[in-house]
A and B are shown apart, each in its own frame.
Chain A
Amino acid sequence: GAGVSQSPSNKVTEKGKDVELRCDPISGHTALYWYRQSLGQGLEFLIYFQGNSAPDKSGLPSDRFSAERTGGSVSTLTIQRTQQEDSAVYLCASSLGPQGRRPQTEAFFGQGTRLTVV
């Protein structure tokens, strides 16, 4: 596609349920990020995938959060046993990646998934 696509755009879930958020990056982009945006909290880094390297999971807030990226393309962020404090906008971004003589680390963002835990 022309841009980063995220689905669903909105998700309301009950506390304790599991949710899956999907991200389709721009074709050919090797780097993929997940961020969380909460009111007044800015952009919180969650996880970073780069090519076939092991992902940088240093931003995941708890073991209820996990993410995978299949075939170097689509990524899914899973939140188990959701809590009210998980309510936020989850943003996905992709970039061409840092490899090569002219690394392109500019990230392109999707519209985000607004998650509300009730």
Chain B
Amino acid sequence: AQSVSQHNHHVILSEAASLELGCNYSYGGTVNLFWYVQYPGQHLQLLLKYFSGDPLVKGIKGFEAEFIKSKFSFNLRKPSVQWSDTAEYFCAVYTGGGNKLTFGTGTQLKVEL
């Protein structure tokens, strides 16, 4: 069965710092990859997704992620975070083998002024 690992559970950054959140999955076949974000008091919403093609995908609010197949990774990046990026971030993978969307445990990001 597929699984998703997010290595950083809590991250605290100052505004303008760069962000990279790790995500690794375990599945050898074709995958669809996602990052979701949950702002305080709000529902989960899609940040970006990868299905095929260019492994560097860009999402909303200046976020991007790179799919590295050889490393089974899909790390999320942002060059300069803002206070409003404070939220919980979830990596997710969909595989035909597991036939469902599996989430990591999430990373709580706090951006300080």
**Interface set of A (CB-CB < 8 Å, partner B):** 33, 35, 41-43, 45, 48, 50, 56, 91, 93, 95, 98, 103, 105-112
- Beyond A42-B90, A43-B106, A48-B101, 8 additional contacts (C-beta under 8 Å) are A35-B103, A45-B103, A50-B99, A56-B99, A91-B43, A95-B101, A105-B94, A106-B49
Interface residues on B, range: 20 to 34
Main secondary structure of the interface of B (DSSP, over half): strand
B25 adjacent to chain A (CB < 8 Å): no
B80 adjacent to chain A (CB < 8 Å): no
Residues in A whose Cβ lies below 8 Å from that of B101: 33, 45, 48, 93, 95, 105, 107
Main secondary structure of the interface of A (DSSP, over half): strand
B26 adjacent to chain A (CB < 8 Å): no
